[in-house]
Structure 1
Amino acid sequence: MVSLVKNGVYYLNRDTLVEITESGAFEILKGNSRAGNLPVDVSSIKQEEARKNTIAYKILMEHNTSGDTQNLKIRFDALASHDITYVGIVQTARASGLQEFPLPYVMTNCHNSLCAVGGTINEDDHIFGLSAAQKYGGIYVPAHQAVIHQYMREMMAACGSMILGSDSHTRYGALGTMAVGEGGPELVKQLLRKSYDVACPDVVGVYLEGKPKKGVGPQDVALAIIGAVFKNGFVKNKVLEFIGPGIQNLSVDYRNGIDVMTTETTCLSSIWSTDSKVKEYFEIHGRPEGYSELKPGDIAYYDGMAIVDLDKIEPMIALPFHPSNVFTVAELNSNAQDILRAIEVEGRKQIDNPKIEFSLVDKVVNGRLKVEQGIVAGCAGGTFENICEVAAMVENRSTGNGSFSMSVYPASQPVYYELVKNGAAAKMMSAGIVIKTAFCGPCFGAGDTPANDTISIRHATRNFPFREGAKPTNGQITSVALMDARTIAATAINNGILTAATEVEPVSPDMKYTFNGQIYKNRVYSGFGKPRLDQDVKFGPNIADWPEMSGLTQNLLLKVASVINDPVTTTDELIPSGETSSFRSNPYKLSEFTLSRKDPGYVQRAKDVQALEQERKTHVGDATGSNGLSGDLEKVLASLPGAGSKDVENILKSTGIGSVVCSVKPGDGSAREQAASCQKVLGGWANIAVDYATKRYRSNLVNWGILPFTIEDENVSFKTGDMIFIPDIKSKIDGGEEIIPARLVQEDEVKEIKLYLKKMTAEERKIISEGCLINYYNI
């Protein structure tokens, strides 16, 4: 289905793929050309010139303000946030000197739209968002109108543009827009007319050929790609560029469905060749000026290639607890016991909670997996064509009156309107499907939480542990498997017995779409370029300012507050989704949930370290010098190498005390900046990792003044309570040093270790030195 080419590849005349083998030879991979009959002499091609002929390179350079083709400073064309993130972003920007929004900033309300938790908190945030849009000149999309990415597709994407969003699934490549999902502070930089700084990324081609068979949907293609590239890091922090003859066989909705899932490959962004179907999409949505043809140059170079044979893609399923945990449905159905037993073993290791009995094998009935819930929702599942396919499949059939239930969430009111108009909604309702409004809740645990010890199959973006809303501290466990809407519908009409869509009689629904833009005109506040600077922003009682954050001290003493040995740690594990959503506007209340699902003792341990730092500051600030030191602080100071011979007062003045989280590979998944900011609110000063799963998590650490250390010595291991003394850290940060000597204090043993801060930009070092982005902008 998917084959990977790890060497460089030339794409000649948008027809022929030629691999540059490790020996330097040239091998034709695809195309009509034969050896010795290539359209150009590949040996004469200058690789660096050919790099410039990718679509991605051209768009990046058009948005680069640095003048340096290797180190980019990107200015985006538009920004997007939802109601879990925009309050913190606006608050950070206000604290950093915001005057007005200098570019279109769309604030949607699709995550906390139910207002079901926390009393008035969610709606108070919405009022804050509307008043901020009015004051600073923003675009405000009220609740239930559209999920963030569907609105951006319909109203903001344009060929050749770039959009930055505070949601990891910010992907509009199929519409010719390079979009990037990052933490909120990166949007703050754009609001303050600063840049997004990144080394020029590699570009990996995704060559599509063939045509999907009936019953195979975009999620099937996406999962096949994710399964091929995630675990080997093939496309990490790179741009995926979709090319090849197979694109013309896909509708734009289908392309969008593949594209939005590229986030789960850990790539930086994505872009597709555009054609007449994309042109028609912009015309249907009343924005014909948004289209332009995008295609690679005659000789384009890619740093790798994924070749996808669409003909061979089968209905897929991503089993718990990751989108890369991929099997074909046929493979699972033919060997359910063995596959599910292996998933159980790995899942128990990942959950690591003796209160929870994680089981899947007992869900097998007559050799097939039986599930209790089906969901089609959000930016991945809730598109018009996906839902039309569901409606056609369930027409004149039933989803049953047993334990299985199914819900469908159209991605926008215009999509919902069309489903009502063409009769698809009636077909689904008659079959027993519940249709709901545009809402991202099922994707992150704030809607349709399944019952304990059940399985939900979802056309959504992620299936991380507990992301669906279960609470491990209460002994709860449910499982989510990702699938395409077509196979979910096939399973629904088979009483929840896992059934591939290709096993069901093919249907051909009416897919004609018209866009009712009047829906948005009547409800969306469009204030870009029209700020009302004399208007006040409206604050609810839960909305709190960021606490004051200190700059980096000359020396640093870290105490290990948590050690996570899992191969990968998701942002959901660092700060949970779901029940925390209502507190995203209150840094203090939200921080109480930090690592609650992975290490419930972390918060108190971090607070204990924070209390030591507060005592240090109080002692240093006491002009009389009369304050005595607590036993805890004296013990910590005594742990410093050579402390007995040092002036305690000088140590207190020059050595900050903070907590550190040590893990293997943190930050997979969401762009959720709170995974970092909550650690900072609790007095965190560093992370130590072998590697960081995504650029966006590392960026979040830096922007909140948390040192993103890496370690390379496999013989060094950390335990909760260990102390790490880093002398002269501020001088080393300011001096641009990458190797940071430190002393690890474990009980009575002191070890010399090396920490690393590689490839940090000058601006990143200044942010760390000042303590956080807010401090940096207020120098």
Structure 2
Amino acid sequence: MIKLLDQGAYVINGQTVIEENHEAYEILKMKTGKDVTKQEAAKNTIAYDILAAHNTSDNMEKLKIKFDKLTSHDITFVGIIQTARASGLTQFPVPYVLTNCHNSLCAVGGTINEDDHMFGLSCAKKYGGMYVPPHQAVIHQFAREMLAGGGKMALGSDSHTRHGALGTMAMGEGGPEIVKQLLNKTYDINMPKVVGVYLTGAPRKGVGPQDIALAIIGAVFANGYVNNKVMEFIGDGIKNLSVDYRIGIDVMTTETTCLSSIWVTDDKVKEFYEIHNRAEEYKELAPKDIAYYDGLIYVDLSEIKPMIAMPFHPSNVYTIDELNANLDDILTEVEKKALISLDNNKVKYTLRDKVRNGRLYVDQGVIAGCAGGGFENICDAADILNGKYIGADEFSLSVYPASQPIYMELVKNGSVATLMQTGATIRTAFCGPCFGAGDVPANNGFSIRHSTRNFPNREGSKITNGQVASVALMDARSIAATAANQGYLTSAEDIDVNFSKPRYFFDSKIYENRVYDGVGKPDETAEIKFGPGIVDWPAMESLTDDLVLKVVSVIHDPVTTTDELIPSGETSSYRSNPLGLAEFTLSRKDPAYVGRAKEIQLAEIARQTADSTEDIYNANYEIKEVFTKINQKFEVDPKKTEIGSVIYAVKPGDGSAREQAASCQKVLGGLANIAKEYATKRYRSNLINWGMLPFLWKEEIPFQNGDYLFVKDIKKAIENRENEIKAYVVNEGMKEFTLTLGELTDDERDIILKGCLINYYRN
């Protein structure tokens, strides 16, 4: 089904693979008649060409990228624009699209969600951007329809920013990276490795793009095969996939932890651009005659069966047939893994009570968002459900077309009527089911979704309130098959159906009549509209010579997601209020974190205004003893030593690009993270951009929760580009250990020295 090479590979004309070994060079020379080195062949990938075209440095090993297009949604664009305004923004230098697909319900929080929307519209007018009102399109679908372009690069403040199937190398990053682009700065990374994804064969009937994606994720997530690399899709199987199908696979590459993705393009992609009235954006893309890939993933599409990713991660995959045949064993294993993910004794999690008469009963089905809400997915689901009904028991089915143009065409071709007759409900374009703001299941509910993620509590339940529910990821076709069997888990391969495959027609009038397009037309006289929920960032201090850090949370889970660092769902209403949102930090993982962080922050607040050392000691009763012990070994002035908090996690930052996973720690006085490794480049970048130190410690930690750490000469180490940092556990023995920082660019070092990106630009 899927095979990973242990080494690199050469690919001739995008088709013939020569696996790297001691004979590869001679075989390559014999087949092509060319003398090509690995270094030269590595420059022949599609990814290399696009990166080279967007690199503004003179060094292809140290890239400084400027993007063609930018995009954000309504739980990120307020903070981004506020940061950029504080840093000197005058106008948007490249097309910047502000979509409203996350807080679009405006169901809670009074006026604050719609206030954010009006802020976005007014900023689009003032700075020359594009504004997509609520319910028009989810962020990535609008980008596919109106923003992507062959050979272009796009940056989005959402982790699933992926448009590789359309020939656009797109990346999802935290807000500060968008800010840099808005201020005409660059995205600085080392040249990433490129892994080929060789598709061959054709999908079986009933197998959808989510099935292919989940199979790939299951094969590469745990081993880090594509971590922070570019996935380049090639092979003779691509021609057997529609563009909608390719998009459905591509958007899920985020869950592999890759940096970005790119695909070979062909006449089907050209037709996609023509349908969307943007024929000029098509560009034929293919690797050159001899291309070298740092790894290769063979995917035989014909061997992949309908899949299911069980809670609580997209990589926890099984075939649906395998699950149905081994229900008790697999559900028991899922429950064991859940004990690690949930880490809370307040709830009892089980799925075995969902087994009825030997079959797994599901409470809810959802087809939604950038992954599931595509035209072809919903048409196929309608064909499967045609003439059937979902029943009047617990099971429900919700369908969210990804854009109004898709919705319109589904109305015209009758798919909406077909689905409604079954008992399904049809909603407007909304990302809520992906992050817990729509279709939250009942307590102990089990939902199957064609969406992007199934992390713990991401569906909206609150474990700290004794609630638990869970999500399994599936393709729309098998969700429809399950709905046709009124909630009993069913593979789409087990349904006899004739897929009608109606043609798609795009109605551009929907956007022309409703979307504000001010790109390239900034209006300096436009007044920005603020609501009471939009709050400026608090002032942040620059780095001092030494640091005193209190360990306020220790997380031993194998991976910690950004959802666990700052929950999604109803907290999204506070995304424009840094201090308000910070109250939710780690609330579902370590509810005591906020209180502990605030206690130590009192000492830092006192330090900044103190007339004497005693003022600092009076702010936190522990601090006097801490400095007494430090000064037995070193001479340290408390008034000149920044005091803050630090968390330890084994591998933090999997999942969302949301910068708030870092910024919420910072506004509560967080100055660093310590980790064995960081799950994603984007989370580490978010820490740095908020002036936090991304420390690394590979061994068993020499401290515990509640301990104080003293970090000696940190400012000097940053200035002198040193990697090893002396730290001490503050106790009678002042136990020494050595932290490392990993590679930092000069700009990243300067940002940390200044205290955050805002200070960096202000100075």
TM-score, normalising length from structure 2? 0.98
Question: CA, structure 1 residues 71+631, in 2 after alignment: closer, same or farther (shift >3 Å)?
Answer: closer
Q: Aligned residue for 1:40?
A: 32
Shift of 1:720: 1.3
**Structure 1 CA distance, aligned partners of 2:452 and 2:622?**
49
Q: Does residue 666 of structure 1 match 2:648?
A: no
How many residues were matched structurally?
763
Question: CA, structure 1 residues 638+472, in 2 after alignment: closer, same or farther (shift >3 Å)?
Answer: closer
Query: Which of 216, 219, 233 is the matching residue for 2:207?
Result: 216
Asked if structure 2 preserves the Cα contact closer than 8 Å seen for 1:638 and 1:644, the reply is no
Show the 5 A alignment for 1:297-696.
297-619=288-610, 622=611, 627=615, 629-630=617-618, 632=620, 635-636=623-624, 638-639=626-627, 641-644=629-632, 651-696=637-682
- 1:312 is aligned with what amino acid? E
SS at match of 1:523: coil
**Structure 2 CA distance, aligned partners of 1:680 and 1:217?**
42
SS at match of 2:734: strand
**Structure 2 CA distance, aligned partners of 1:57 and 1:189?**
23
SS at match of 2:737: strand
Asked if structure 2 preserves the Cα contact closer than 8 Å seen for 1:237 and 1:267, the reply is yes
Q: Aligned residue for 2:24?
A: 26
Shift of 1:25: 3.0
Asked if structure 2 preserves the Cα contact closer than 8 Å seen for 1:334 and 1:367, the reply is no
Shift of 1:640: 5.6
Cα displacement string for residues 718-744 of structure 1 (whole angstroms, at most 9, x for unaligned residues): 311111111110011011000111111
Shift of 1:717: 3.6
Q: Does residue 727 of structure 1 match 2:727?
A: no
- 1:11 is aligned with what amino acid? V
Question: CA, structure 1 residues 46+617, in 2 after alignment: closer, same or farther (shift >3 Å)?
Answer: same
**Structure 2 CA distance, aligned partners of 1:69 and 1:245?**
30
**Structure 2 CA distance, aligned partners of 1:433 and 1:403?**
13
Asked if structure 2 preserves the Cα contact closer than 8 Å seen for 1:239 and 1:270, the reply is yes
Shift of 1:638: 3.7
Shift of 1:230: 0.1
Q: Aligned residue for 1:6?
A: 6
Q: Aligned residue for 2:226?
A: 235
Cα displacement string for residues 680-704 of structure 1 (whole angstroms, at most 9, x for unaligned residues): 0000000000000000000000000
Q: Aligned residue for 1:750?
A: 734
Question: CA, structure 1 residues 396+652, in 2 after alignment: closer, same or farther (shift >3 Å)?
Answer: same
**Structure 1 CA distance, aligned partners of 2:626 and 2:111?**
49
Question: CA, structure 1 residues 14+398, in 2 after alignment: closer, same or farther (shift >3 Å)?
Answer: same
**Structure 1 CA distance, aligned partners of 2:328 and 2:614?**
70
Shift of 1:716: 2.8
Question: CA, structure 1 residues 631+490, in 2 after alignment: closer, same or farther (shift >3 Å)?
Answer: closer
**Structure 1 CA distance, aligned partners of 2:616 and 2:224?**
52
Q: Does residue 62 of structure 1 match 2:62?
A: no
Asked if structure 1 preserves the Cα contact closer than 8 Å seen for 2:138 and 2:402, the reply is yes
Cα displacement string for residues 288-333 of structure 1 (whole angstroms, at most 9, x for unaligned residues): 0010100000000000000000000100000000000000000000
Question: CA, structure 1 residues 80+640, in 2 after alignment: closer, same or farther (shift >3 Å)?
Answer: farther
RMSD between superposed Cα atoms in Å: 1.5
Q: Aligned residue for 1:281?
A: 272
**Structure 1 CA distance, aligned partners of 2:28 and 2:120?**
62
Q: Aligned residue for 1:31?
A: none
- 2:717 is aligned with what amino acid? K
Shift of 1:765: 0.3
Show the 5 A alignment for 1:96-115.
96-115=87-106
**Structure 2 CA distance, aligned partners of 1:259 and 1:38?**
35
Question: CA, structure 1 residues 275+646, in 2 after alignment: closer, same or farther (shift >3 Å)?
Answer: closer
**Structure 2 CA distance, aligned partners of 1:645 and 1:500?**
67
Shift of 1:337: 0.3
Cα displacement string for residues 560-615 of structure 1 (whole angstroms, at most 9, x for unaligned residues): 01000000000000000001010000001000000000000000000001001112
- 1:194 is aligned with what amino acid? K
**Structure 2 CA distance, aligned partners of 1:6 and 1:404?**
44
Question: CA, structure 1 residues 83+628, in 2 after alignment: closer, same or farther (shift >3 Å)?
Answer: closer
Asked if structure 1 preserves the Cα contact closer than 8 Å seen for 2:548 and 2:641, the reply is yes
Q: Aligned residue for 2:126?
A: 135
Shift of 1:639: 4.7
Asked if structure 1 preserves the Cα contact closer than 8 Å seen for 2:606 and 2:615, the reply is no
Unaligned runs of 5+ in 1: 29-34
Shift of 1:40: 2.0
**Structure 2 CA distance, aligned partners of 1:166 and 1:172?**
14
- 2:753 is aligned with what amino acid? S
Shift of 1:651: 1.1
Unaligned runs of 5+ in 2: none
**Structure 1 CA distance, aligned partners of 2:509 and 2:706?**
60
Show the 5 A alignment for 1:189-268.
189-268=180-259
Question: CA, structure 1 residues 38+13, in 2 after alignment: closer, same or farther (shift >3 Å)?
Answer: farther
Cα displacement string for residues 130-184 of structure 1 (whole angstroms, at most 9, x for unaligned residues): 0000000010000000000000000010000000000000000000000000000
- 1:769 is aligned with what amino acid? L
Question: CA, structure 1 residues 328+633, in 2 after alignment: closer, same or farther (shift >3 Å)?
Answer: same
**Structure 1 CA distance, aligned partners of 2:134 and 2:631?**
58
**Structure 1 CA distance, aligned partners of 2:615 and 2:207?**
71
SS at match of 1:672: coil
- 1:255 is aligned with what amino acid? R
Question: CA, structure 1 residues 645+356, in 2 after alignment: closer, same or farther (shift >3 Å)?
Answer: closer
Q: Aligned residue for 2:749?
A: 765
- 1:774 is aligned with what amino acid? I
Asked if structure 2 preserves the Cα contact closer than 8 Å seen for 1:6 and 1:303, the reply is no
Question: CA, structure 1 residues 325+716, in 2 after alignment: closer, same or farther (shift >3 Å)?
Answer: same
Asked if structure 2 preserves the Cα contact closer than 8 Å seen for 1:640 and 1:725, the reply is no
Asked if structure 1 preserves the Cα contact closer than 8 Å seen for 2:603 and 2:619, the reply is no
**Structure 1 CA distance, aligned partners of 2:590 and 2:324?**
36
Shift of 1:618: 2.3
**Structure 2 CA distance, aligned partners of 1:279 and 1:230?**
32
Question: CA, structure 1 residues 627+213, in 2 after alignment: closer, same or farther (shift >3 Å)?
Answer: closer
Cα displacement string for residues 600-646 of structure 1 (whole angstroms, at most 9, x for unaligned residues): 00000000010011122222xx2x88858328356445456551476
Asked if structure 2 preserves the Cα contact closer than 8 Å seen for 1:442 and 1:448, the reply is yes
SS at match of 1:388: helix
SS at match of 1:333: helix
Question: CA, structure 1 residues 500+752, in 2 after alignment: closer, same or farther (shift >3 Å)?
Answer: same
- 1:771 is aligned with what amino acid? G
SS at match of 2:637: helix
Asked if structure 1 preserves the Cα contact closer than 8 Å seen for 2:651 and 2:679, the reply is yes
TM-score, normalising length from structure 1? 0.96
Shift of 1:406: 0.1
